[in-house]
Chains A and B, each alone.
Chain A
Amino acid sequence: MRAPRPKAAIAAIAVAALAVAGCAESNRDDNSGGSKKDTLVFGVAGDPKVLDPSFASDGESLRVARQVFETLVRPEEGGTKVTPGLAESWTPDATGTTWTFKLRSGVKFHDGTDFNAEAVCVNFNRWYNAKGLMQSPDVTAYWQDVMGGFAKNENADLPPSLFKSCAAKDATTVDLAFTRVSSKIPAALMLPSFSIHSPKALQEFDASNVAGTAEDIKYPSYATEHPTGTGPFKFKTWDVANKTLTLERNEDYSGAKAKLKTLIFKTISDENARKQALRSGDIQGYDLVGPADVEPLKSEGFNMLTRPAFNVLYLAMNQKGNPKLADIRVRQAIAYALNRQQLVTSKLPPGAKVADNFMPDTVEGWNGDVTKYTYDPAKAKALLAEAGASNLTLKFHYPTEVTRPYMPNPKDIFELLSADLKAVGITVEAIPLKWSPDYLNATTSGSKHDIHFLGWTGDYGDAYNFIGTFFDRPKDEWGFNNKALFDQFKDADGTADIAARTEKYKALNKSVMDFLPGVPISHSPPAIVFGKDVTGVKASPLTDERYATAEFK
């Protein structure tokens, strides 16, 4: 063994460097690395999963899809109202089951082909005629959520399809027919999963060929390398080795062209690391800002945007898990015992509100005139005594390793809620579980859970997407079977007239709060932050931010 010789080592490295230099071709553009003022690097919490939004349900895939693709209708900028997208207008027929969409003309896909009614039908038929693995709930989650099933359901558990057929009447007119009236139409069509793809690209890259076995799904190259839409940005590269995804401006965009030349999404999974990256200038914005960072970053001059709260955090009580919870007085006692206001002011981001309904007040059908359960520990104790449950013991599940827009800090929330329950004499048995999969499994299936908290972020601006998701049928999460309530939901969903439907939703909110299957806790507005010199982006309650309007000052 020789003593190390620094000079020899350096020489060897230099020789090696010279040997490899230039032995591969550089393929980068000449214009890259130019002015950084037209390039935005935005920090996100996770890698996208697939670039074809038909197969996506995770926020990061959808964020990319929203820049590359467009949908027939889209939410108003910064709101939830349905506004024109690729369709200029839409009208239902008298029965409310067939909708006619008038399309924008002169729109081209990124591959140069024309967008028209034919293309819309190709897309809807592609989803509707899904076969094999494309019917798996993890592959086409949102289609199944909205439409139920397919042309030919291969699994007996799937409900019949809501979608019936698509007819292109002329180049800019298309009819979508549905099997029944549903409150979801047209609002649900603004989900990125209903993005319109280029039929030519779908064909060329074999987009519907989801192959392999179910335990080993192989997605076609379209879904990972060739997403082709009509949006203001075009897909450029996805560099997993550097955790970045690069989009570039669509120079032939039909609307106002993007102000940024390049938009880069960079994955930084750790929340604190995202904040440090923003401060050190690696990135010029990031999403999922911790509530504790909102005020400090704002005061440092960063451009902090607060999304209107479009979510709900609730405490669920499982009436099967603990028979005592089947007693309405016990459920009321728990509601009165919780100091929700204190939780909201101390732990949730600025602008958060105590929830009175299981849906935010920005959705039609919200009802201010329901039974409210304002903090009243004395009343809680009295109700418990009356119900003969003074020495009640509850298993309280709470999740670890997770932050959600509606619960930025589950452990803190648990600590405060359980302190409230203990204060009225309830014995709390803490059961912390890892969010995925343990917690979700334990709280939404079986009947071994007593109370837990969970929440929901709305997909589109419709009451059914909130309260219907929770209470329209018997679910293991709540463990009750209230037929009257279920019928009330069915009736509301099938009402075609919007004003009448809104009234029915209001009545439903009242019924729910009287029955009190759980306690709605809060609506908290998630924040998104941009660099000090970045402007032009409007926060959206549906997280439908449009980076095309972003610019550097």
Chain B
Amino acid sequence: MFRFIVRRLLQLIPTLFGLSLLLFIWLRRLPGGPETAILGERGTPEMRAAIRRNMGLDEPILVQYGRFVRRMIKLDLGTSTSTKRAVTTEFIERFPGTVELTITAMIIAIGVGIPLGYLAARRRGRFLDHASVGGSLIGICIPVFFLGYVLKAIFSENLHWFPSSGRQDPTLGATRVTNFFVLDGLMTREWDAAADALWHLVLPSIALASIPLAIIVRITRASVLEVLNEDFVRTAEAKGLTEQTVRRRHVLRNAMLPVATSIGLLAGGLLSGAVLTETVFAFSGIGAFVAEAIGQRDYPVLMGFILIIAVVYVLVNLLVDLSYSFIDPRVRVR
């Protein structure tokens, strides 16, 4: 087991090397460089050339890559060319927002989606069933950014129930510890700050939850329907177990397996949705930041982001493989 983990972690090194070299070359093939983004319409060709020379962008690509690797070994992701701040700092300050947003969205999607899907299946063919199936179909088809604007127009602009932008009311002057605002509020006992941060999360997470919610409703419904037809449910009912026991012990538990699988699938799509939600709600997060970095040709930010995604990917895969061997004793990791 230990050797397996070590070997997989060692495999990470060549993977990161290959990936970063590939990315490095690809990014630098993008037309135009950071120098134009930095100077805007004030830049002359001479100024742009001077910056390129200063930044070492006119040197052979392998020399540039060598410098990059030397920095990486020191765990230094460099400085963002567009914000002029350390990439690590940017990530530390912007990742928590996205994590908070996606977690809240997932809680909404799961918390509403599973009961709704279950009820729809139990009342198959009735109004609730049709409504939730129809609603979930529309949920999948509505562009997230449009939904965001509509939510804001109704609940912020007209009803003034929720704020339309940002993560927290800046006039509160809340203390920052981890940059997870809700957590920070709890940790520092600034209850109003925590509540305000939660309040700011409502609309964006509803917009972001729309697609996962719709998918979870449909999968739960299909899965519960399938289980209800299984022999063991009929057996359980036949042997006189109460409906509640049957529901809890047999139907839900068995129906949850495919739902759990699909929740894993949705996580990747959430980050795509986060790019749009963060833009629409001026929500400080990593998604909109990286999308902007692409436009700004901000190489250090892009390299850092993709390498982090790659590391997370490899680690998650490792965990998944390990967890299989715990769940299913027949699987032996080698």
Contacting residue for A32 out of B171, B177, B187, CB 8 A: B171
Chain A positions within 8 Å of B166 at CB level? 242-244, 266, 268, 277, 282
Chain B positions within 8 Å of A23 at CB level? 187
Quote the shortest CB–CB distance from B257 to chain A (angstroms).
7
Contacts A216-B71, A270-B282, A282-B165 given; does A4 touch B114 at CB 8 Å: yes
A237 to B34, CA, bound (A): 28
A2 to B252, CA, bound (A): 9
Contacts A24-B175, A216-B78, A282-B166 given; does A444 touch B31 at CB 8 Å: no
Quote the shortest CB–CB distance from A472 to chain B (angstroms).
12
Residue B164 at the chain A interface, CB threshold 8 Å: yes
Q: A216 near B186 (CB under 8 angstroms)?
A: no
Q: B164 near A282 (CB under 8 angstroms)?
A: yes
Residue A36 at the chain B interface, CB threshold 8 Å: yes
Which residues between 134 and 190 of chain B lie within 8 Å of chain A, taking CB atoms?
149, 152-153, 156-157, 160, 163-177, 179, 181, 183-184, 186-190
Q: A155 near B189 (CB under 8 angstroms)?
A: no
Chain A positions within 8 Å of B82 at CB level? 49
Contacting residue for B56 out of A27, A215, A239, CB 8 A: A215
Residue B240 at the chain A interface, CB threshold 8 Å: no
Q: B45 near A476 (CB under 8 angstroms)?
A: yes
Q: B176 near A241 (CB under 8 angstroms)?
A: yes
Chain A residue with minimal CB distance to B155?
Answer: A280
Chain A residue with minimal CB distance to B145?
Answer: A270
Chain B residue with minimal CB distance to A5?
Answer: B248
Chain B residue with minimal CB distance to A133?
Answer: B54
Chain B positions within 8 Å of A274 at CB level? 282
Chain B residue with minimal CB distance to A142?
Answer: B42
| B83-91, B120-128, B308-316 - interface stretch | B83-91
Contacts A276-B152, A280-B157, A441-B36 given; does A241 touch B171 at CB 8 Å: no
Quote the shortest CB–CB distance from B149 to chain A (angstroms).
7
Chain A positions within 8 Å of B248 at CB level? 3
Q: A217 near B187 (CB under 8 angstroms)?
A: no
A241 to B167, CA, bound (A): 8
Contacts A269-B279, A282-B166 given; does A440 touch B36 at CB 8 Å: yes
Q: B149 near A440 (CB under 8 angstroms)?
A: no
Contacting residue for B187 out of A21, A434, A441, CB 8 A: A21
A218 to B186, CA, bound (A): 34
Which residues between 61 and 95 of chain B lie within 8 Å of chain A, taking CB atoms?
64, 67, 71, 78-79, 82-86, 89-90, 93-94
A21 to B82, CA, bound (A): 37
Contacts A26-B188, A47-B83, A401-B295 given; does A214 touch B42 at CB 8 Å: no
Chain A positions within 8 Å of B67 at CB level? 213, 215
Q: A57 near B84 (CB under 8 angstroms)?
A: no
From B32, B163, B175, B280, residue with most partner A Cβ within 10 Å: B32
Chain A residue with minimal CB distance to B193?
Answer: A28
Contacting residue for B284 out of A2, A243, A438, A441, CB 8 A: A243
Q: A39 near B171 (CB under 8 angstroms)?
A: yes
A170 to B47, CA, bound (A): 39
Chain B positions within 8 Å of A58 at CB level? 40
Chain A residue with minimal CB distance to B162?
Answer: A280
Q: A41 near B170 (CB under 8 angstroms)?
A: yes
Chain A positions within 8 Å of B71 at CB level? 216
Quote the shortest CB–CB distance from B158 to chain A (angstroms).
9
A186 to B187, CA, bound (A): 53
Task: Fill in one digit per residue for A147-172: 1 if any B CB lies within 8 Å of its CB, else 0.
Answer: 00000000101000000000000000
Residue B129 at the chain A interface, CB threshold 8 Å: no
A114 to B183, CA, bound (A): 43
Q: B164 near A214 (CB under 8 angstroms)?
A: no
Chain A residue with minimal CB distance to B159?
Answer: A280
Chain A positions within 8 Å of B85 at CB level? 224, 240
Task: Fill in one digit per residue for B288-324: 1 if any A CB lies within 8 Å of its CB, else 0.
Answer: 1000100111001000000000000000000000000
Quote the shortest CB–CB distance from A121 to chain B (angstroms).
28
Contacts A24-B184, A28-B175, A436-B36 given; does A273 touch B296 at CB 8 Å: no
Quote the shortest CB–CB distance from A212 to chain B (angstroms).
7
Chain B residue with minimal CB distance to A406?
Answer: B41
Chain B residue with minimal CB distance to A446?
Answer: B45
Q: A266 near B165 (CB under 8 angstroms)?
A: yes
Q: A241 near B97 (CB under 8 angstroms)?
A: yes
From B48, B176, B282, residue with most partner A Cβ within 10 Å: B282
Chain A residue with minimal CB distance to B43?
Answer: A440
Residue B24 at the chain A interface, CB threshold 8 Å: no
Q: A41 near B171 (CB under 8 angstroms)?
A: yes
Which residues between 444 and 479 of chain A lie within 8 Å of chain B, taking CB atoms?
444-445, 454-456, 475-476
Q: A50 near B179 (CB under 8 angstroms)?
A: no
Residue A138 at the chain B interface, CB threshold 8 Å: yes
A290 to B171, CA, bound (A): 27
Residue B37 at the chain A interface, CB threshold 8 Å: yes
Contacting residue for A141 out of B39, B55, B189, B279, CB 8 A: B39
Q: B163 near A282 (CB under 8 angstroms)?
A: yes
A218 to B43, CA, bound (A): 22
Contacts A26-B190, A241-B179, A437-B32 given; does A214 touch B55 at CB 8 Å: yes
Quote the shortest CB–CB distance from B228 to chain A (angstroms).
15
- 17 additional A-B residue pairs with CB within 8 Å, beyond A26-B189, A49-B82, A267-B284: A21-B186, A28-B175, A33-B171, A137-B39, A137-B51, A215-B55, A216-B79, A237-B173, A244-B166, A268-B282, A273-B152, A277-B165, A280-B156, A282-B156, A436-B37, A437-B37, A456-B41
Between-chain CB contacts (< 8 Å), 24 pairs: A1-B256, A17-B186, A22-B187, A145-B42, A212-B79, A214-B51, A216-B78, A216-B79, A241-B93, A241-B94, A264-B171, A273-B152, A277-B163, A277-B166, A279-B156, A280-B156, A280-B157, A283-B165, A436-B32, A436-B36, A440-B32, A444-B45, A445-B45, A475-B44
CB-CB nearest 10 A-B residue pairs: A437-B32, A437-B36, A280-B156, A214-B54, A32-B173, A268-B282, A26-B188, A215-B55, A244-B170, A24-B187
| Residues of chain B at the chain A interface (Cβ within 8 Å) | 31-51, 54-57, 64, 67, 71, 78-79, 82-86, 89-90, 93-94, 96-97, 114, 149, 152-153, 156-157, 160, 163-177, 179, 181, 183-184, 186-190, 192, 248-249, 252-253, 256-257, 260, 279-282, 284, 288, 292, 295-297, 300
